[in-house]
Amino acid sequence: MAQQLHPTRTAWHITVGAYGSRLHGERVPTVDRAHNQYGSPFLPYDPKRVADERDLMKGEPVWFTLEQRAFIEATLPTVCERGHWLYRVCAAPPPPEHNHFHIMLDAERKRHGKDIRKWLKRWLTESLDEKWGRPESGSWWVEAGSTKAVKELAYLNNAYNYILRQRSTPLDT
């Protein structure tokens, strides 16, 4: 289904990782605050950095079960309603990528994606805590995440389809 840019809102592609499930220096691609500009290479494999980051963790990594991934996908549209954002699509991908969620939504132009990400995490945490309790680490999520303003129609459609393909549950039609 082809998506269109909203004439008076900004579309955001937001990704948030689960706590401790993807550490800098692992073999999977990551960026850190010093290496997060467009076109920057991913961080190299560095077992010492992985060990150092693991030593700083307050508990075990969070790995979402199928039930939790389905819950996240079912809850994010309601979170968007609460924030007065227009929901497009979300995914909490299945294994082996079951350590994050993606969402695409539209928000008033005055709202920045970093603020939206903060509220998404807060309200989704409340829902997860109510159902499963707080994880041992004290958090479901990494400290930050990715927020990309979507300004081009091609990116909007590519990202929408990318997210759609990663869903753990079928999209209601």
Report d(CA 11, CA 161) in Å as an integer: 15
Are 118 and 44 part of one and the same domain? no
How many Å apart are CA 58 and CA 172, to the nearest integer? 38
Residues 57, 20: contact at Cβ < 8 Å? yes
Spatial contact of 171 and 75, defined as CB atoms under 8 Å apart: no
Same domain, 15 and 99: yes
Does 103 share its domain with 157?
Answer: yes
- The answer to whether residues 78 and 159 belong to one domain is yes
pTM, full prediction: 0.86
Q: What is the CATH number of the domain that holds 96?
A: 3.30.70.1290
Whether residue 40 is found in the same domain as residue 113:
no
Q: Are residues 103 and 170 in the same domain?
A: yes
Per residue of the chain (173 residues), give pLDDT as tens: 689 999 999 999 999 998 877 776 666 766 666 666 666 777 777 788 767 777 777 888 889 999 999 999 999 999 999 999 999 999 999 877 668 999 999 999 999 999 999 999 999 999 999 999 999 888 999 888 889 999 999 999 999 999 999 999 988 74
Q: Are residues 51 and 73 in the same domain?
A: no
The reply to whether 68 and 111 lie within a common domain is yes
Q: Are residues 37 and 118 in the same domain?
A: no
Domain holding 46, by residue range, is 24-56
40 CB burial (10 A radius; 0-12, 13-18, 19+): exposed
N- to C-terminal Cα distance for the chain? 11
- In this structure, are 16 and 48 located in the same domain? no
Same domain for 118 and 46: no
Do 131 and 79 sit in the same domain of this protein? yes
